Amino acid sequence: MPRAVTLSLAILVAAAAAAEASPVGLWRAKDGAQIRVSACGKQTLCGFIATTNPRIDPATGKAPVDKNNPDPAKQKRPLVGVEILIGMAPSAPGEWSGRLYNDDDGKTYDGKLKELGPKNIRIEGCAGALCGGQELSRVK
């Protein structure tokens, strides 16, 4: 194979691998909920709840709502569509920093999104000295 063709193929394969490793896309949490990560500016990423688990709240028979939000006007909004990764800007190779909304307590924290590879990302945040996170897997 001519050297130019081999070099072109190598560049295409590298570009495809880089595209696969992007955190943009649909991700599944361990509980089955799904988060859609997308560009929301020139270099920033945002993430929204795409599905919840369970999809129906057994207590109400309706879609889960943002009941822990401190804003009473938002407490009855469905969780699907709520932005949970807010203004995540590049902070290191394969890492974005910004704010995380935690629907479990209705608070927003400093946080990070880290690429672990083409099939996994990690979202982590800290509240004071208490830190935690979760790995998500790509939905095909």
Instruction: Reply yes or no on whether the pLDDT at 17 is more than 50.
Output: no
Count Cβ neighbours within 10 Å for each residue of 109-127 and write b for 16 or more, e otherwise: bebbbbeeebeebebbbee
Tell me the domain boundaries of the chain: 23-138
- The correct CATH number of 23-138 out of 3.40.50.2020, 3.20.20.100, 3.40.462.10, 2.40.128.520 is 2.40.128.520
Could you report the per-residue pLDDT of 84-119, keeping only the tens digit for each?
999 999 999 999 999 999 999 999 999 999 999 999
Q: Is the pLDDT of residue 5 over 90?
A: no
Q: Any idea what DSSP says for residue 67?
A: T
Q: Report the predicted TM-score, pTM, of the whole model to 2 decimal places.
A: 0.82
What digits encode the pLDDT tens for the residues 40-90? 988 999 999 999 998 988 888 999 999 999 999 999 999 999 999 999 999
Evaluated on CA atoms 101, 41, 97, 12, the torsion sign reads: positive
Q: Under 8 Å CB-to-CB from 73, ≥6 apart: which residues?
A: none
